[in-house]
Amino acid sequence: MLFTIYSTLARKKEIFTPQNAPHVGMYVCGPTVYGDPHLGHARSAITFDLLFRYLAFLGYKVRYVRNITDVGHLENDSDYGDDKLLKKARLEQLEPMEIAKYYTDRYHDMMDALNVRRPSIEPNASGHIMEQIDMVQQILDAGFAYIVNGSVYFDVIKYNQQYRYGQLSGRVVEDLLSSTRDNLEGQEEKRNSVDFALWKKAQPEHIMRWRSPWSEGFPGWHLECSAMGRKYLGDKFDIHGGGMDLLFPHHESEIAQSQIANGDTPCQYWMHNNMITVNGQKMGKSLGNSIMLDEFFTGSHPLLAQAYTPMTVRFFILQAHYRSTLDFSNDALQAAEKGLKRLMQAVKTLNNLQPSATDDNNIIKNIETECYDALNDDLNSPIAISQLFEAVRIINSVADKKEKLNANDIERLKKLFHNVAFDILGLKDEQSGNQNELLNNLVKMIVDLRQQSKEKKDWETSDNIRKQLTELGITVKDTKDGTEWVV
C-alpha cells in the first residue's frame, strides 16, 4: 500500500521545516471540459484532494499538477475519433475555446463548493502543443512510432517485444488484438489494431489544429499527460492518479510513451479511485443515470429525493475507501447528511465542555492513533471517520455528565477535529457559513434602510442606525461609490 511507505513520517513530523521538508510530485488526470462536472468528477477530485491535504499535513512540499483536457483525439472503443469538445462547440455555435473556458470555470466553481483545494499547477493540453510535438519526435527517433498520411501512431507490437504493454492493467496484447473491432474509424491507417495515435492529421472540418512536422493536426489524447507530467515534475515523479476508467488504455499508453521518450516509466506509484454506481450499474450519460453536481446542490434530478449540500456530497464520498465502488442512493446521502450534522454539532459541544480534575483518558490517545494509522494505511478515510464518531460519543457522554475529561484531553480532541475533520478530510460547518451569509444579508438590509433615511433627509434616524451598528462592532463608511461596512 502507498502509505505504508509514508507512515513513519507521521511520527517524525516535528523534524520537518520549510528548508528540509521532502518534496512529492503528484500528477492527476483532470477533466475533459465539454460538459458540467458530475459525481464521478467529484470522487476523483476529492480522493486526490485528500491525498494532497494529508501529505501537506505530514510536512511534505507537494507539487500537485492536474491537467485540463481541452483538446485531444479520444481513443476509446465507444468514441474513437469523436472530439466531444468540437461536437459541443458546433452544437452551441461557439468557438471550442469558449466551450473549454466555460466548462473549466464551471468545474472550478463546483470543486470550490466541495472545498477541493486548487492544484499547484493546472496546465491545459492546448497550451502545451510544442511539448507534445517534441515527445512525438523523440518516440519517432527511437523507432517506436510510424507516420501514415500525416498521422503518427505508436507501435505497440514493437514496444511489447522489448517491454510489456499491459503491465499496469494486466492486459495481454495478443488478447487485445483478437478483441479489437476492425470497423472503427482510423483503423485502416494502423499497422496493428492496438496501436494508438500520437498525432492526428486534422480533417478539413476540424477546427482545432496546429502545425507539426507531419501535418496540421492535433495530439493524441494519451500524449498530453506524458508531456505535461514531464515538463512540470520531471522524467519520473512520485504519484500518478486518476479514475479507474483511465487505467486502460490511457495510463497504459502513458507508460509506453514515457518509457521510450524518457527511458523510464513515468512514476513510482499509481493510484486509481473506483467508480460511482447507481443500483449496481455504472453511472453514465448513456444510461440516463448520470447526475451533475449542480443537480445535487439544487435537487433538480429525477433520481434525487432532495437537494444535498456540497459538504454532504463530500462526506458521502469520504465514507467509502477510494478504491472501493461507491453506490449512489438517496438513503446513503441522507445518512451522510445526518452523520455530518452530528459530527459538526459535536464540535460545537466540544468547544463548550468544562474540564474536570481527572487523569488523562487513554481512549483519546487510542482514537488519535487509530485515525492516523488509518490514513497512513492507503488513505482509509472510512476508518478515520469511524474514529471521529467514537470521539463524538465521548463528547456527548461528557456533555451529559456521564463521563469526565480533563483540560488536556479536551484540547487533544479539539486538535484532532481541527487536523482530521477540517484540515485533512476537508469538511466545513456549512451551518456556520449560512449564519455568516444571514448576518451579511441583515446588515445590508439595515444599511439600505439607513440610505433610505438619508434620501428622505431623516438625519436623526440615519445617525441612530449608524451609531447602533457601531456599538455592535460594525463599521459603516459612506463613499462616493455607496455605503461600505465591515463586520
What's the CA dihedral at 409, 414, 419, 422 to 10 degrees? 150
Q: Are residues 147 and 27 in the same domain?
A: yes
Q: Are residues 82 and 223 in the same domain?
A: yes
- Is residue 377 within 8 A of residue 4, CB to CB? The reply is yes
Question: Which of 240, 273, 306 delimits the end of a domain?
Answer: 273
Q: Tell me if 383 is assigned to some domain.
A: yes
Read off the C-alpha cell for 261. 521518450
Which is more confidently placed, 450 or 408? 408
Q: What's the CA gap between 403 and 389, in Å, rounded? A: 16
Per-residue pLDDT at 484: 66
Strand order across the 196-201 sheet: 145-148, 151-154, 196-201, 216-219, 210-211
CA 321 vs CA 196, 274, 372, 473: distances in Å: 33, 9, 15, 46
Per-residue pLDDT at 466: 83
Q: What's the CA gap between 462 and 480, in Å, rounded? A: 17
Check which CATH number belongs to the domain holding 342 and give it: 1.10.730.10
Task: Provide the domain count of the chain.
Answer: 3
Q: What does the pLDDT look like over 249-297, one tens digit per residue?
A: 999 999 999 999 999 999 999 999 999 998 788 887 667 788 999 999 9
Per-residue pLDDT at 75: 41
CA 204 vs CA 133, 209, 306: distances in Å: 21, 10, 47
Q: Are residues 120 and 103 in the same domain?
A: yes
What's the CA dihedral at 295, 338, 43, 90 to 10 degrees? 0
Q: What does the pLDDT look like over 429-454, one tens digit per residue?
A: 977 655 555 566 667 778 878 888 88
Per-residue pLDDT at 140: 98
- Is residue 215 within 8 A of residue 1, CB to CB? The reply is no
Q: Which of 477, 419, 428, 482 is nearest to 53 (CA)?
A: 419
Q: Are residues 235 and 114 in the same domain?
A: yes
Which is more confidently placed, 202 or 183? 202
Q: Which residues of 109-143 are buried (b: 16+ CB within 10 A; e: fewer)?
A: ebbebbbbeebeeebbbbebbebbbebbbebbeee
Is it the case that residue 62 has pLDDT exceeding 80? yes
Q: Tell me if 429 is assigned to some domain.
A: no
Q: What does the pLDDT look like over 330-384, one tens digit per residue?
A: 999 999 999 999 999 999 999 999 998 888 889 999 999 999 999 999 999 999 9
Q: What does the pLDDT look like over 286-327, one tens digit per residue?
A: 677 889 999 999 999 999 999 999 999 999 999 999 999 999
Q: Are residues 234 and 304 in the same domain?
A: no
Q: Tell me if 432 is assigned to some domain.
A: no
Q: What's the CA gap between 179 and 172, in Å, rounded? A: 11
Eight-state DSSP code of residue 69: B
Helical packing angle, 2-11 and 39-58, nearest 10°: 40
Domain that holds residue 420: 278-424
Per-residue pLDDT at 7: 39
Q: Are residues 256 and 331 in the same domain?
A: no
Check which CATH number belongs to the domain holding 124 and give it: 3.40.50.620
Q: What does the pLDDT look like over 6-54, one tens digit per residue?
A: 433 333 344 445 556 799 999 999 998 888 999 999 999 999 999 999 9
Q: Are residues 9 and 59 in the same domain?
A: yes
Question: Which of 254, 273, 292 delimits the end of a domain?
Answer: 273
Strand partners, 326: 276
Q: What's the CA gap between 205 and 89, in Å, rounded? A: 13
Q: How confident is the model at residue 74 (pLDDT cuts 50, 70, 90)?
A: very low
Q: Tell me if 430 is assigned to some domain.
A: no
What is the value of pTM for the model shown?
A: 0.84
Q: What's the CA gap between 216 and 151, in Å, rounded? A: 9
Angle at 91 between CA 85 and CA 94, to 5 degrees: 70
Q: What's the CA gap between 64 and 240, in Å, rounded? A: 10
Per-residue pLDDT at 470: 81
Q: Are residues 61 and 39 in the same domain?
A: yes
Q: What does the pLDDT look like over 140-199, one tens digit per residue?
A: 999 999 999 999 999 999 999 999 999 999 999 988 887 765 545 557 789 999 999 999
Per-residue pLDDT at 483: 74
Per-residue pLDDT at 452: 80
Question: Which of 227, 250, 273 delimits the end of a domain?
Answer: 273
